[in-house]
Amino acid sequence: RSRSPDRAIVTNRNVFYFLVMGNPVIVDAVRTPLGRRRGWLAGIHPAVLLGFAQRTVLERAGVDPELVEQVIGGCVTQAGEQSNDMVRRAWLHAGLPQHTGGTALDAQCGSGQQAIHLVNDLVRAGSIEVGIACGVESMSRIPLGGNVPEGLGDPRPDDWTIDMPNQFEAADRIARNRGLTREDLDAFGLASQAKARIAVDEGRFKREIAPIEAPVLDDEGNPTGATRVVDTDQGLRDT
């Protein structure tokens, strides 16, 4: 079977690009809704969540899955359900072609972004014609730090001297260095939530969210046997 040399696609965490002679062009973007800890999406295995997004964006873009040569996805906590190249496992579980290569990468908070760069560069270099960049993190099921279990040692060498505070300390430093007060940040947060409420009420996110059927869990996190269709982000606060 011959393939047209001027077609390719790439995605970021669920974003696809159409390529003409090695030049990336975005053709579609798909994501699942965003959940919260022990929230609406907590009952879905992360490979199922990611595979659903991978298949959905192909269907929406009208791209033949047989054309996809590489899938690269970001995942910070690669342990348990998110271990063992879960990006490729998600692809295969979704019933997509076995000949497609899959790579999971950890660049911490920039993991999904790095996946985009790598697929983009593979296409520009002519190594592939079609690729997908994606990402997933299900912190309800695999908590942050879950890939460093007790007894296996600290990932940092004993003579580690690099100043790398946790996110809370880092945020406090940034605020002090930039002269940002708690009042400034509270006002910014409130304004952001107000804008998000308008966007949700006006349906501005509907075009990028793929509704997904999720198990309903009880207060202990056990499946109740019921399901719900989740089509909106859960993080919006009542402000």
Residue 136 in tokens:
């997933």
Going from the C-alpha of 129 to that of each of 12, 20, 56, 100, the distances in angstroms are: 16, 9, 20, 12
Residue 120 in this model has a pLDDT that exceeds 80: yes
Question: Residue 19's pLDDT is what?
Answer: 45
109: its two tokens: 């908070």
At a CB cut-off of 8 Å and minimum separation 6, what does 143 contact?
77
pLDDT over 70 at 12, yes or no: no
d(CA 180, CA 175): 5
Kindly report, residue by residue over 156-197, the tens digit of the pLDDT. 898 999 998 988 999 999 999 999 999 999 999 999 999 999
Predicted confidence band of residue 17 (pLDDT cuts 50, 70, 90): very low
In order of 4, 48, 108, the CA distances from 122 in angstroms are: 17, 26, 21
Distance between CA 63 and CA 19 in Å, rounded? Answer: 12
pLDDT surpasses 70 at 40? yes
